[in-house]
Amino acid sequence: INMAGDEAQVLTETRENVTTTIVTTTTTTVTETSEEPEAAKALEETPMGNSGARPTSPVSTSQESRTDVHKLDYEKDIVYLYQFSRTPVIPSVSPFCLKVETWLRVLGIKYENVDHKIKFRSKKGQLPFIEYNGEEIADSAIIIKELGLKFGKDLDEFLTPEQKVISHMTMAMIENHLFWCVYSQRTRNPGQFLKMSKMNIQQMIGSKIPAGLLNLFFKMKFKQGAKRVRAHGIGVHKPEEIEEFARSDLKDLSTLLGDKPFYFGEKLTLLDIVSFSFTTQIIYMDSGVPYPLREWFEENAKNLIAHCNRIKERYYPDWDEMCKTMDLNTHIPKPKPEENDKAKEVTEEVKEEEKSEPGANHAEEKADE
């Protein structure tokens, strides 16, 4: 289950609910939104006063009802990735989004992040999703599978059948158990999550609403995620029991990794990417905020920290830059200032030449006749 859709929904609802409150207090009529009961389904977005116009392609709860894409001027064979905005401590607070971006980087596939301010979700109601040659592909596992087939790429091709089974079971543990342990902690204490991740909701959703008000509504909505955690089953346990579950998972990962650079030796596999994307959600949180699970890491799973640092240094040389600037596309070379100046000069020269061409005005007069 890709719960990144829930976090996107919380941010969308934060924007909508805060705007609804503000507009209502000024006696302006606003269309209210109603929440779908299913966790994976998205809200139908509505015009919200000062929050801006409704997206041209609104979120739909039906997979068959939408076949369009958001990026109409796409370049052939470029992957357009829709995910969360950056934070000052980690490229994405969604392990599923980080998983897809890391996979793209490892395989050297050309991609571009679309800065959509979390306005869009896939037809399945999720983030991440991608658009490739006019086609939408949703869900991190399906994205990797489909793009792997399109590009002929498979990080696990050298694994034995037994190793593939181990990889599959370990990824299932990470994504369907460890994730819920961490997500449970976030929903219990959203204020701590905001501080650890240094999330700037105002910047993430492109809103002018005061940050304090946005944070308040975010905390209120995010706490509702506890219902989904309880429905999953893990939420019926005490916080300290859930934390022990997480530590047990992490111990198993540490044991499997051992002193190897990657889980199956010298070569990186999909399991390494999945492990990296999820453990970074603990390891790289702001050290100034108390977080027992991160502190446990530093004492008991130093090899997992080294594993994360190894992948970060190899495939994210721009990590510090993206976290500092919040730029979604630091991996794409930017034109140098002098190149821009030269381009402007050439354009201006061409315009001047067109104006001063002899007979140009005469030709125009003749054409008018």
**pLDDT class for 117, splitting at 50, 70, 90?**
confident
Q: Is the pLDDT of residue 61 over 50?
A: no
What is the C-alpha separation between 123 and 67, in angstroms, rounded? 9
Map out the domains of the chain as residue ranges: 4-324
Give percent of the chain with pLDDT exceeding 90.
58
The pLDDT value recorded for residue 7 is: 58
Distances (CA, A) of 114 to 39, 74, 241, 316: 24, 11, 39, 18
Lowest-pLDDT range of 4-8, 62-66, 71-75, 215-219: 62-66
Lowest-pLDDT range of 29-33, 152-156, 342-346: 29-33
Lowest-pLDDT range of 167-176, 184-193, 220-229: 220-229
Range 184-197 average pLDDT: 92
**CA-closest candidate to residue 218, choices 194, 197, 198:** 194
The pLDDT value recorded for residue 354 is: 61
Antiparallel, parallel or unpaired: β 135-138 and 111-113: unpaired
Q: Are 127 and 165 in contact (CB under 8 A)?
A: no
Q: Is the pLDDT of residue 22 over 70?
A: no
Q: Which helix (H) or strand (E) holds 262?
A: none
The pLDDT value recorded for residue 73 is: 87
Q: What is the pLDDT of residues 219-265, one digit of tens each?
A: 888 778 888 899 889 999 999 999 999 999 999 999 999 999 999 99
The pLDDT value recorded for residue 340 is: 59
Share the mean pLDDT of the chain. 81
Provide the CATH number for the domain formed by 4-324 in this structure.
1.20.1050.130
The pLDDT value recorded for residue 218 is: 86
CB neighbours of residue 200 within 10 Å: 17
Range 85-113 average pLDDT: 97
What is the C-alpha separation between 100 and 107, in angstroms, rounded? 11
The pLDDT value recorded for residue 45 is: 27
